[in-house]
Structures are given as structure tokens and as C-alpha cells.
A and B are shown apart, each in its own frame.
Chain A
Amino acid sequence: MTAAARVRVIALGSPMARDDGAALRAGERLLEEGVDAEVVLAGRPGPGLLELLEPEVPTVLLDVVRGPAPGSVVELGLDEVVGASLAGGALSSHGLGVAEAFRLAEALGRTLPPGRFLGLAGAEFGPGEAPEPAVAAGIEELVAAAREAIEALR
């Protein structure tokens, strides 16, 4: 990857946990419809997310969040993610989720890339392939927001 400002889109989530797969579906839509960006369907990379966050590569992070109204899209700067997430263990069921990966990057003195975090709010994370209708409907908005963010970062 060169510093030619090709934007990287990183889609996170699990397609077998209902709403948790919605951001991945948005990433798949971008790939299917075509987009001038590198799209990485990263799933749940844990600390591997650090490897994908290269300071010179503008990045759009697509994820599912919990808290806001299901189906709504939340946009943050990458540097705002840690501050917006709840502290401690409640923030993720995993030893190293997105915010922990960001905190680790900060602790290691790594520079975050310029970019945006786009979170589609979900509510139902039990086993299942299909997101809830309200969340499924929000995928369109997430894709549109991702395209806007890509344009703005180019």
C-alpha cells in the first residue's frame, strides 16, 4: 500500500450473530456495487486491527454499535472512538475489541490514520444470519455514509 491516498474500508462483525453482521453486509455491498477503495472484510480481528490501521492510509471503519436507536448510523472521527465508548469490560465481549485495539495503539504510540468510524446501531446479537428489519434497513444508509466518507478522504 502506497501513500497514494487510496482509502481503505474495514468492515467488522460476525455474520452469524444477527445485527452484528450488518456492517459486514455493508462492506459486501460496496464490493458488489464497486467502489474506488480497498475493502477489507475483517470480521473480528482483535488486535489484528492494528495491522490494518496504517497511518498513511485513510480509513473508513464500518462496525455495529450498541446504544443508539437500532438502524441509525453514528459517525465519529477515528480519534473520537475511544472517548465515545464505555469504559471497562462492558464495551466488548472480547478480550480485545475495537476500542481496546485503539487504546493499545495509543499506548504503543502509534499514529491512527485519518478517517471516519461509521457505526450502525444494532440491538439483537443472538445467533442468526439475518439482522432485525430496522437494522437491515439501515445498511443502505451505512453504505451511503461510507461512500461519502470515502469521497471526503480521497
Chain B
Amino acid sequence: MSEQNGGGESERTYHVDLMTRVEGEGRFFVHVKDGAVLDARLEIFEAPRFFEGFVRGREPDEVVDIVARICGICPVAYQVSASRAFEAAFGVALPEPVRALRRLLYCGEWIESHALHVFMLHAPDFLGYASAVEMAADHKGLVEQGLRIKKAGNALIEALGGRATHPVSPRVGGFWKAPSKETLRALAGDLARALEETEEATRFVATLDAPDFTPDYVYVALEDGARYPIEAGDRIVVSGREPVDVARWDEVMEEHHVPHSNALQARLKDGTPYLCGPMARLHHHAEKLHPRAAELMREVGLGRSEGNPHRSIVVRCVETVHALAEALDIVAGYAEPEAPAARWEAKAAVGCGASEAPRGLLWHRYAVGADGWVADARIVPPTSQNQARIEDDLRGMAPGLAEMEHGAATELCEQLIRAYDPCISCATHFLDLRIERG
């Protein structure tokens, strides 16, 4: 919903009270007067999440199960960041085959999450539809293609995690059960088809016209040695700053309460907003992409520092190609590990861990008491880190909006926010029913 109000020709507000095609409930509000932006807010009004409270008094492996419930789209990211924090606390190192399995699981999540956003949530903006449902009537092949790619990712998660949504096998140190070689090999055909289909889709989305908008980003992403950062990384790289250890996240970044949002906003300590997610990963680590993804990037003319958030659809496609190609490599080289998890014992300690959720850096910190139970927890999701950056983008766009028809300007604001793939929060899932029977 949008409307124009305010004090005359030179004063305009743009707002949408319930954003569609984003995860969770949020709204935005932009107020422009005489070409100057008076206010720009992304308001997150869903109930605050209390997962940090839920996990207090729980054992580490229970926490891994509980945090999976934070998000229906990226449960693996929460499970892995939590596991890595506990592993850092207890000094646990994953054997190579188990590490590869965790990366494979995470590739599954990138594939299904990116496919959901590219084909169901973001593509309708470029093709002029209100939703994927309406788009499906005219672009059935594109939607079916997206669903097949997503399914290939879900199949990986189910094979490794025990089920596709909220996996039950991941645990601190690895998995409760490792899949057989045959189980994984059986997935190779669908993964290979999904890889080809995603390459085709990348070529298509690269041709789509995007609004011209290139803010000056500070990019933030994990660093995992020579690997493109996905499930691991001990350092965080920040544009124009020295890299920092994951354990020192809160010495460099900080979270603030803002009156208009139930989510905390993160910024660098000097107040600078930053961008995490696919564009930040590509900026810092493009040379680490799988050769098939790197070749495709060249073919479609995508630069490593793509600065237009609307073009993130192309970056997500390239990352999906990377995840599929790497998944195929891991499956081809897979040998069942001697044990599905590294051995560990809980002790009084504090640990921090991070991974690259599909939407960006996901940082966890846990304090464990001598009884082995969690005494304190802190979870910083990517959307809260991007929220201040989104608001700055809205401010940056606002002067140009005055030249546009009001409805189109409002829609452009909504498209910008959607380009970030915000996961505002997935606390509830329910159906509003209106029963009318004679």
C-alpha cells in the first residue's frame, strides 16, 4: 500500500505497510521535502526474536537443533555458525571428510535459498509481475526451472541433514550420521542438470534491465583461505580496513537499537553502514570461485565489484553455479568418514563462530558454563547487518524519486529492499482463514 501525503508538491512520502516477497514482516517509509531526505526507515515490526534466551540452559547439541528454527529458509547457516562457535570454545577440529560434508550441506542451502530468491521473489520485479504466481502464468518454464534447481538443493540437505527443512543430523563436531557414498552419488545427475539450468538462467538474468543505482559500499565477508567463503572462515574482511578475527567481531562492529525497528542494526564502530552477502563475497573473493562460475562470470560480463544492488540477481546465480559445481566435486570425491563427528567435551569457555549464510555473514557467540550448559548467547544475522545500509540506499535514491510517478517511485523503493533478499524474520507461519458457507 502506498499513498502520497505531506505539505504540497515539494513534499512527498513513500511507504509500503506490508512488504511482499521478503521473508518476515516489515515496512518502509521515505520522506522527501524540497529534494532533501528528511527520513528513511526500514521498519521491522515482527515480534522480536528470543532465541538467544531460548538456548540459555541448554547443551550445545540442543542449541544446534533449536537455532535451526530461526529461519525456514536458511536453518543450516544457523546450525553451522552455532557449531563453529562451540567448536572454537572447545578446541574441536573437523577431520577433512567431515569438513567437506558440512560444506556440501551448506552448498545445498545456498542452492535452495538463492533459487527461491532469484526465481520466486526477485525475478518478478524485472519481468513486471506482482508475484511468482502471476509470473508463472506467462513464464511457466522459468518458474519450473527455478523449482527444479531449488529441489536439487533441498535433496542435498535431506540426504545430509535427515530432512529438507530444519535438518536434524548436524551437530557440534560434524553430524550424527554420515550419508553413504551411494546416497550422494544418486544425487549427482540432478545436481548436474541443475548446474546446466542455472548457467542458462544466469545468461538470461544478466540481460535483464536493472535500475541504475550504485552506492559506494563497504563490503564485509568472511575469509576462508583459498576457498570461496561458505561454511567456514576465521577472519572477516572489510573494505579499506584491516581484516579482523571472527572472535573480535564486536570490537569492530556494534549493534544499536533504533526506535522504529524490533531488530538491532549493526554498523562499523565508526558508524559506517556496510554490506554483507553475495555482492560482498564476490567483491572480496571472486578469484576463488569454481572455474565454471568464474568462466560464466566472464561470459555474462559481471565484474567482481558489481555495485548495483538490483544486479545482485546475477551474483546470486553465479554463486548458485559455484555451489552446484563444488557440490558435484565433493560428491565425486566423497569417501565415508571413519566417524561422522569429531569427539569433543564441553567445558567452561566462550567461543565465536561465523559462516556465510545465503544472505551474508552470520555471527554467533556462546558462553558455556562448567556444567556444560549455555550461559549466554548472541546471534547477529545478516539482515540486521544490512539494515542500516538499506536505509542509506533509500536516502541515496530518494532525491531522484521526485521525478517519478508516485506509485512507480514507491515500487522502486520496495524493489531495492527486496534486492537485498532480507530475511526480516521467520517467527510464525500461519494461514488467515475466512470461512464463508451458506
Task: Give the total of B residues in contact with A, Cβ under 8 Å.
Answer: 51
Q: Report how far A126 CA is from B51 CA in the complex, Å.
A: 11
Contact B427 A17, beta carbon cutoff 8 Å: yes
Stretch among B139-147, B194-202, B228-236, B269-277 lining the A interface: B139-147
Contact B433 A97, beta carbon cutoff 8 Å: no
Q: Is B377 among interface residues, defined by CB-CB distance under 8 A? A: no
Q: Is A150 among interface residues, defined by CB-CB distance under 8 A? A: no
Stretch among B21-29, B84-92, B96-104, B325-333 lining the A interface: B21-29
Closest to B1 in A: A89
Q: Mark A63-107, 1 if CB is under 8 A from B, else 0.
A: 111111000001000000100111001111111111110011001
Contact of A17 among B20, B25, B143, B428 (CB under 8 A): B428
Contact B432 A91, beta carbon cutoff 8 Å: yes
Contact A16 B143, beta carbon cutoff 8 Å: no
Contact A103 B133, beta carbon cutoff 8 Å: yes
Give the number of residue pairs across the A-B interface with Cβ within 8 Å.
161
Contacts of A109 in B (CB 8 A): 140
Contact of A15 among B46, B47, B49, B69 (CB under 8 A): B69
Q: How far is the CB of A146 from chain B (nearest CB, A)?
A: 17
Task: Given A67-B433, A91-B432, A93-B427, answer yes or no on A127-B47 (Cβ-Cβ < 8 Å).
Answer: yes
Q: Is A44 among interface residues, defined by CB-CB distance under 8 A? A: yes
Q: How far is the CB of B409 from chain A (nearest CB, A)?
A: 20
Tell me the B123-150 residues at the A interface (CB within 8 Å).
131-134, 136-137, 140, 143-144, 147, 150
Task: Given A84-B435, A100-B131, answer yes or no on A48-B429 (Cβ-Cβ < 8 Å).
Answer: no
Q: Is B164 among interface residues, defined by CB-CB distance under 8 A? A: yes
Contacts of A41 in B (CB 8 A): 163
Best-buried of A67, A93, A122, A128 by chain B (most CB within 10 Å): A93
Contact A14 B150, beta carbon cutoff 8 Å: no
Best-buried of B72, B120, B154, B432 by chain A (most CB within 10 Å): B432
Q: Mark A39-58, 1 if CB is under 8 A from B, else 0.
A: 00111111110110000000
Contact A93 B429, beta carbon cutoff 8 Å: yes
Q: Report how far A79 CA is from B347 CA in the complex, Å.
A: 54
Contact A68 B49, beta carbon cutoff 8 Å: no
Best-buried of A13, A44, A50 by chain B (most CB within 10 Å): A44
Contact of B429 among A12, A103, A121 (CB under 8 A): A12
Contact B431 A98, beta carbon cutoff 8 Å: yes
Contact B165 A50, beta carbon cutoff 8 Å: no
Contact A108 B136, beta carbon cutoff 8 Å: yes
Q: Report how far A24 CA is from B18 CA in the complex, Å.
A: 27
Best-buried of B140, B165, B429 by chain A (most CB within 10 Å): B429
Contact A67 B435, beta carbon cutoff 8 Å: yes
Q: Report how far A51 CA is from B429 CA in the complex, Å.
A: 19
Contact A65 B72, beta carbon cutoff 8 Å: no
Contact A93 B428, beta carbon cutoff 8 Å: yes
Tell me the B103-127 residues at the A interface (CB within 8 Å).
112, 116, 120-121
Closest to B153 in A: A48
Q: How far is the CB of A143 from chain B (nearest CB, A)?
A: 19
Contacts of A67 in B (CB 8 A): 432-435
Contact A127 B51, beta carbon cutoff 8 Å: yes
Q: Report how far A14 CA is from B68 CA in the complex, Å.
A: 11
Contact A68 B433, beta carbon cutoff 8 Å: yes
Contact B431 A93, beta carbon cutoff 8 Å: no
Closest to B157 in A: A48
Q: Report how far A21 CA is from B234 CA in the complex, Å.
A: 36
Of the A-B pairs whose beta carbons lie under 8 Å apart in the complex, a sample of 9, sorted by A's number, is A20-B430, A45-B72, A46-B116, A47-B116, A51-B151, A65-B433, A93-B429, A95-B121, A127-B47
Residues of B within 8 A of A (CB): 18-25, 46-51, 54, 66, 69-70, 72-73, 112, 116, 120-121, 131-134, 136-137, 140, 143-144, 147, 150-151, 154, 163-166, 426-435
Residues of A within 8 A of B (CB): 12-17, 19-20, 41-48, 50-51, 63-68, 74, 81, 84-86, 89-100, 103-104, 107-109, 119, 121-122, 125-129
Q: Which 8 A-B pairs have the closest CB atoms?
A: A44-B72, A107-B136, A125-B428, A43-B165, A127-B50, A67-B433, A16-B69, A86-B432
